[in-house]
Amino acid sequence: MARETRQTDAKSPMSSPLSPTVPAPPEDPGCEPPLLNHGPTRPFLACLLPLVVFLLFGAFEPTSGEPANWLGLGEGDYPFVYTLRIVASLVALAVVARDVLPWLGRPSWWPPLLGAALVIPWIVLAALQREAGWAEMGSRAAFDPFRPFLGETGGWAFLAVRFTGLVLVVPIAEELFLRGFLMRYVVSERFWEVRFGTLTTASVIACTAYAVLTHPGEAIAAAGWFGIVSGVAAATRRPIDAITTHAATNLALGLYVVATGAWWLW
């Protein structure tokens, strides 16, 4: 009888009607895979600092063809203010470089080609929005670097600074913030534990909202373009591919602007 009792107890440890119902104990947490840190290191600093610095100095920029801004700066001051903006942003990128570089991954060959091709719909849609009268919602600086007061040498020197911002600073700073931080933060506050390129309803909404709010003069083009680059991030899971796509589009756009004089596009 003792043996039978032990067998019954072993099979039904909570068989007594006076015992409370107790759920089965959870599985050993040691068997669960640990949460992965998808980086970068010092994630808030790395993903936020470059764009914050870029936007902060952008608040000082005057707009071409408009009266002096709130600091009394006119369009003649634009080259100096923009150069200061780029220098400050490069310093910010240098500060976070050791956190970001190991996280970027190896570049794929096709994202830059896609980025260069995407300049065509960007230009077409931006022009259509401009013709419809919607571009005034958020005009760009539209600064012509070949204004007489700069001279030819000064114009080309500033153009080099402008392309540094367009092709290097903006793609890195913006992608670190948007796809490195914002699109993962809306999934989890511990966004470094969310794999890069994760697309959810919340991350798509965040991307679209960012595109429209930061590019009101090209809202339609921006919404489509940023959506496609999010697809690149989801396809390769490598931050470097989002950056190279962005850089290629900006380079192609800059070359188009210089070749045609469509300064309103930048």
- Answer whether residue 63 shows pLDDT above 90: no
Residue closest to 229 by CA, chosen among 216, 254, 213, 210: 210
Please give the tally of structural domains in the chain.
Answer: 1
Asked whether residue 124 is domain-assigned, the answer is: yes
What pLDDT digit, counting tens, does each position of 75-88 carry? 788 899 999 999 99
Look at residue 187 in the predicted model and tell me its pLDDT. Answer: 97
Q: What is the CA radius of gyration of the chain?
A: 26
Please state the pTM of the whole predicted model: 0.85
How far apart CA 170 and CA 103 sit, in angstroms, is: 18
Residue 43 lies in a domain: no
Whether residue 115 lies inside any domain: the answer is: yes
Contact 162, 82 (CB under 8 A): yes
* Structural domain harbouring 146: 106-265
The pLDDT of residue 76 is: 80
Residue 42 contacts residue 99 (beta carbons within 8 Å): yes
Does the residue 212 lie in any domain?
A: yes
User: What is the C-alpha separation between 117 and 199, in angstroms, rounded?
Assistant: 23
Q: Minimum mean pLDDT among 3-7, 101-105, 131-135, 214-218: which range? A: 3-7
d(CA 266, CA 253): 9
Q: Does any domain span residue 140?
A: yes
% the chain with pLDDT above 70: 82
- Count the neighbouring beta carbons within 10 Å of the beta carbon of residue 141: 19
DSSP string computed for 111-170: HHHHHHHTHHHHHHHHHHHHHTT-GGGG------TT-TTTHHHHHHHHHHHHHHIIIIIH
In a domain, 261, yes or no: yes
> What are 138-188's pLDDT values in tens digits?
567 888 888 767 777 888 999 999 999 999 999 999 999 999 999 999 999
pLDDT at 34: 61
- Residue partners of 186: CB distance under 8 A and separation at least 6: 200, 202, 203, 205, 206
Residues 212, 176, 57, CA angle at the centre, nearest 5°?
Answer: 70
Domain assignment present for residue 79? The answer is no
Closest CA to 111 of 253, 266, 265, 247: 247
DSSP classification of residue 2 = H
Domain membership flag for residue 154: yes
